[in-house]
Structure 1
C-alpha cells in the first residue's frame, strides 16, 4: 500500500522544552512516540499537514521559528544533514539562513521539531491548509498526496498537525464554549474509529467558532485514506489513541493510523 501510516499530533509550542521550561507536559512524549512509530515504518517520504494562513506547499528550504514565543530557536524542515548550517544532530535546533525558503507556520514548525527530535533522516515536505479550506478541497488535497506518491512509486506517511478546540474551559485561550467538549469528543471518536465520513462532516464554521484549527488537516487525512482504501476504510485501518485531554483548556489528540495487517 502506498500510504503506510499517519500520525495525528497537536502543535502547542509548549511541546518544545525550551518554551515550556520545567512545567511537565504529558502530551510531549505521546507525540514523540507516535512520530517514532511513523518513522519506524520506513516511509520514502513524510508529508506534514497543518493549519496555515494560506494554501501553501513547503520544501526543505523552509524554516520555522519560535522567536514569537520567547525563545531564539528555529527548525529547518529539511533533515539535519541537508539543512543549511545543520550540525547533523537530530535533536538540536538549527539557526535559519537569511534568504532561505518560506517561513513555516506554527503547526508545521512543531511538526518539523518532532521529526528532528526523533532523528528521522528521510525526505519530508509540508502543506499548509487554511481555516477557509472546504471539506471537499481538504479531501482532494489528501487524495492528491496519495496519488503523487503512487505516481512516484513512493511509500508515504502523513504527519497531521492539528489542535482541537481552544475553548474547553473558562481559562482556555478562547474562554469556555459549551459546544467545545462535544465537538472534541466527536473528533476523538472519529479518529478512534477511522471514520473518514465523520471527519469529512466536521463543520468548518463551527470549528472556527470553537478555535479548532485541526479541522482542515484532519479532513486532508480523511481524503488520503479514502483514496488509499476506497472500500470500507474503517475495516482496512486500525487506530491507536495515545492521548486525548485538554490541558490549559485546549483539546490535544495524539492518534496513529496504520493499515490492518501492516504494510
Structure 2
C-alpha cells in the first residue's frame, strides 16, 4: 500500500472559470498547468455505464497495476476531518461567492467542502469527458495548525488506504510578498517560497517535513500542512518530480508540481 502519484496545486477561486467570468483568461496559464498536473496522476475514469474511459487525450486510463485505486484530495482547513464522499460538494458560499457544484448537493447529508478542497474538486472535473466521472475519491481536510508530526502521520494513514494511492494536494505559499513593513519582509517570504519550490521540484519529502509551523503561519503559507501530509504519504519512496509553476516575483506563492511513480528509496 503506497502513494504512487501526486499533484500539487494552489486554490485561488479565480481558477474556476464560472467564478472568474470575464477575467478567466487572466488565469489561463495557471489553470492549464494545474490541469496538466492532474492529468499526470494517471487516474482511471468511469463512464455512466461503468465502462472504463479510453480517451488518452483526457488522461483517462483503463485500470491496471499502475493506475491509482484511490484518489485522496487534501487541503487545509480550520480542523482535520474526512468528509463523507456521498454528501460532499464544492462550494464558495462561505467566501461570499454564490457558486457550488457536485453530486453531493442532493444528498440528505450534504456538506460543503472548504475552499481548498472545493477548488480541487473543480480541478478534478475540469476537462473531464462528458458522461465520465472519477472513481474512488476521498476528501481530507487537515488543520492549518496541525504539527508536522500530525501531518506526517495522517499522510501515512492515507497512503495505506489502498494498494495504489494518488493525491491531489491543494496549498499555497507565502501571501505577504510585496508587504515591506515588519513582520513580513519580502526577503523572508522569498526564502520560504524558494525552499518550498526546491522541495516540490525534487520530491524531497524530508525537506517538506522541515517546514516550520510558526514561520508558515507568520507568512500566511496555507499549504504547509497539506504538503507535510504529502511528505508523510511519500514515506521514503522516490518520485520523478517536476515543478510546473512557481510564484512570480512579488506574487502569492502559487506552486504547481507533479510527482509520478519512481522506485522505493534504497531500491536502486
Count of residues paired in the alignment:
232
Aligned partners of 1:59 and 1:124 also within 8 Å: no
Aligned-residue Cα RMSD (Å) equals: 2.4
- Which one of the candidate residues 160, 163, 167 is aligned to 2:176? 167
2: CA distance, partners of 1:72 / 1:99: 21
Q: 1:189 to 1:22 in 2, by over 3 A?
A: same
Note if 1:142 corresponds to 2:145. no
1:249 counterpart SS class:
coil
Q: Give the drift of 1:99.
A: 4.3
Q: d(CA) in 1 for partners of 2:159 and 2:94?
A: 34
Instruction: Name the residue aligned to 1:89.
Output: none
**Cα deviations across residues 95-127 of structure 1 (Å, max 9, x unaligned)?**
x33743332110000010011113242121111
Is the CA contact (8 Å cut-off) linking 1:58 and 1:127 kept in structure 2?
yes
Pair 1:243 & 2:245 matched: yes
For structure 1, which runs of at least 5 residues remain unmatched after alignment?
A: 77-82, 85-95
Alignment map for 1:97-116 (pairs within 5 Å)? 97=106, 99-116=108-125
Question: What CA distance in whole angstroms lies between the structure 1 residues aligned with 2:251 and 2:94?
Answer: 21
Match of 1:131?
Answer: 144
- Structure 1's 2 and 185: CA in aligned 2 closer, same or farther, altered over 3 A? same
Partner of 2:153, secondary structure, is helix
The secondary structure found in structure 1 opposite 2:111 is coil
Q: Provide structure 2 residue ranges, at least 5 long, that are not aligned to the other structure.
A: 44-58, 60-65, 264-268
Decide whether aligned partners of structure 1 residues 43 and 118 sit closer, same or farther in structure 2, where only a CA change above 3 A counts. farther
- 1:240 Cα deviation after fit: 1.1
Matched, 1:206 2:215: yes
Query: TM-score, length-normalised on structure 1?
Result: 0.81
Structure 1 pair 166–42 and aligned structure 2 pair: CA distance change class (3 A)? same
Please say if 1:257 is aligned against 2:259.
yes
Mark the CA change 1:122 to 1:98 in structure 2 (over 3 Å): closer, same or farther. Answer: closer
Give the secondary-structure state (helix, strand or coil) at the position aligned to 2:106.
coil
CA contact (8 A) 1:177 1:210 kept: no
CA contact (8 A) 1:19 1:70 kept: no
Answering whether residue 187 of structure 2 is matched by residue 185 of structure 1, we say no
